Chains A and B, each alone.
Chain A
Amino acid sequence: MANILRDVEIAPPTFDTLEEALAYAERFRQPEVFIKEFVNSLGGRVRFSAELRYDDWLSAAGSAVISTGREAIKIGASALIRDSELFKTAIHEEMHLRLMKKAAEDRRFALDLVTDPDPSVEEHYVETVAIRYLRMYERAFGRLKH
């Protein structure tokens, strides 16, 4: 099985003032609130199939619960380090959910991806889409804060 790697930006941003640094640190104190505000700040320009939930136990940046009827997007602590990483992680997991939904509807492209014996095929696809979407979003609406 091929190694599945995701390019996660884990270097925290730098700050010009203490106030900025303290404001940034708030996201780690109340991650649920921060994630909710972050999604609200996208202003409906990105629609998620499931609510984004913070999971303190999650070792990865994100995960998607793909079981039908129990769909969820979970965000791990490492995704909070940068806004761009949170955006990318959320889109990455959203793509897993959308692919699974389309696969269940027998859509060939999605079905081929989600049932591929090599899981890196789907991972590579969803990550490519997430990166592309982040670029498009930032081109259209300006760079994310961190």
Chain B
Amino acid sequence: MHDTLLSVSYESLGKILAQLQDAPEIKASQTLAERVRNAISFHQQISVEVEAMRQQQRLVKQKLSEVTREPGERICNQAPPYNFGKYEEMRESGATPQQIYLATRADGLGRVESIAALRQLFQLSLPEAQDAISQAEAQFRQQAA
């Protein structure tokens, strides 16, 4: 919040100075006009530094936000917290959707996450992913029997 308050008053200051410069009382006095011009110039110089600091602050906040997230936390404007890196490698090695599904379940992933993995890795529609799962489960049952 301190950010916002600072931001509002800081931007307002620029506007106030600009309005002051146009005021007849300021225009009438050379000394006052000079002071206002100096103030505007100082405000402009500072604004560059303030903007750079704000940018740094945003980056630090972003980093802090990333490192303080809980497992399974979905953040606004970001992708879901899934990490399918391991299964990507399996796919690169030629694993089928069925094999990857069984691997995800063996790793303890839920059914929803497993479907998400198949759809992401193989660009499947939901019915295609569900079909692959049915096949994988049928194969698994056959092998177990």
Please give the residue numbers on chain A whose beta carbons come within 8 Å of chain B beta carbons, in ascending order. 1, 4-6, 12, 25, 27-29, 55, 57-68, 70, 72, 74, 77, 80-81, 89, 92-93, 96, 100, 103-104, 106, 108, 111-112, 114-117, 119, 122-123
Contacts of A89 in B (CB 8 A): 76
Query: A4–B72 Cα gap in the complex (Å)?
Result: 18
User: Known pairs A66-B80, A111-B126. 19 more at Cβ < 8 A?
Assistant: A4-B78, A28-B2, A59-B61, A59-B64, A63-B69, A63-B75, A63-B76, A66-B73, A68-B110, A92-B76, A96-B74, A100-B112, A103-B112, A104-B112, A106-B111, A114-B112, A115-B112, A117-B120, A119-B78
* Interface pair A65/B70, CB less than 8 Å apart: yes
Shortest C-beta distance, B81 to chain A (Å), equals: 8
* Interface pair A70/B119, CB less than 8 Å apart: no
Confirm or deny: B136 has a beta carbon within 8 angstroms of a beta carbon on chain A: no
Q: From B5, B79, B116, give the contact of A4 (CB < 8 A).
A: B79
Query: A55–B66 Cα gap in the complex (Å)?
Result: 12
Confirm or deny: B65 has a beta carbon within 8 angstroms of a beta carbon on chain A: yes
* Interface pair A63/B129, CB less than 8 Å apart: no
Instruction: Indicate the size class of the contact surface on chain B.
Output: 20 to 34
Closest residue to B122 on the A side, CB-wise?
A117
* Interface pair A81/B79, CB less than 8 Å apart: no
* Interface pair B110/A12, CB less than 8 Å apart: no
Contacts of B126 in A (CB 8 A): 108, 111-112, 115
Closest residue to B79 on the A side, CB-wise?
A119
